[in-house]
Structure 1
Amino acid sequence: MVTAKKTKKTHESINNRLALVMKSGKYTLGYKTVLKTLRSSKGKLILLSNNCPPLRKSEIEYYAMLAKVGVHHYNGNNVDLGTACGKYFRVSCLSIIDAGDSDIIKTVPGDH
């Protein structure tokens, strides 16, 4: 029971930090633009929803490994990630280019 509360709290803090990035930072939404940011080494952190297709997920992880960028597997589906971004559509992957006022890059555990 304690771990469920802790995961909910970290989930909420990621959502708060993500909302701050949406307000003050730079980001790209979507598979194609995430790959572009990884190829041009502009991305600082990649977030993937848990229902992102496996082939896309492995391709993004591979490009992120080459670019030495952290990948965080968001604990929610693409509808949840879209809602956390403040959008009314589904988002399966997003790349944070500039965090702005948020400290999401330091605090979110990105798998390097």
Structure 2
Amino acid sequence: MDVNEELRETENSGKIVLGSNETLDATRSGESKLTILSTTCPAQVEKDIRKCSVKEKVPLYYYPGGAEELGLALGKPFLVSAMAIVDTGDSNIQELGDVLNEDQLE
């Protein structure tokens, strides 16, 4: 599966939420179907999102690139360190996520 292609398809046909606070809110509420974090996501943001992900059983995926690469993959001219997929649209992106359990929290 080409992650970047699935991200673009999700953005075109589904609904995404960008930004640390918005992603945290979507994950906390269970609205997110998949939460994605870049490798350069700030540690505290990652920790907070991971906790919500476990509590709400929202799958979490670590994008293999930094915020710049994730932003470019989405066709955005800015950094994206965290995002939530609210509606997958016609994509298969949800297959990427793993549901974490409490023993995986640090």
SS in 2 for 1:57: helix
Residues 1-60 of structure 1: CA deviation (Å, up to 9, x unaligned)? xxxxxxxxx5xx000000000100011000111111122210010110001111111111
Shift of residue 111 of structure 1?
4.4
Q: Given the alignment, which residue of 81, 84, 106 partners 1:92?
A: 81
Number of aligned residues: 100
Does residue 1:14 correspond to 2:6, yes or no?
Answer: no
Residue 110 of structure 1 aligns with an amino acid whose one-letter code is: D
Residue 18 of structure 1 aligns with an amino acid whose one-letter code is: L
The CA distance in 1 between the partners of 2:25 and 2:58, in whole Å, is 13
SS in 1 for 2:61: strand
8 Å contact kept, 1:72–1:111: no
Shift of residue 109 of structure 1?
3.9
Shift of residue 110 of structure 1?
2.3
SS in 1 for 2:35: strand
Larger-gyration structure (1/2): 1
SS in 1 for 2:86: strand
Q: Which residue of 2 aligns with 1:83?
A: 72
- Runs of 4+ with >2 A deviation: 109-112
Q: Which residue of 2 aligns with 1:50?
A: 39
Residues 75-111 of structure 1: CA deviation (Å, up to 9, x unaligned)? 00100000011101000000000000001102x1424
% identity of equivalent residues: 35
The CA distance in 1 between the partners of 2:87 and 2:15, in whole Å, is 5
Q: What is the alpha-carbon root mean square deviation over aligned residues?
A: 1.1
Q: Given the alignment, which residue of 7, 11, 17 partners 1:28?
A: 17
SS in 2 for 1:97: strand
Residue 32 of structure 1 aligns with an amino acid whose one-letter code is: N
Structure that is richer in helix per residue: 1
Shift of residue 70 of structure 1?
0.9
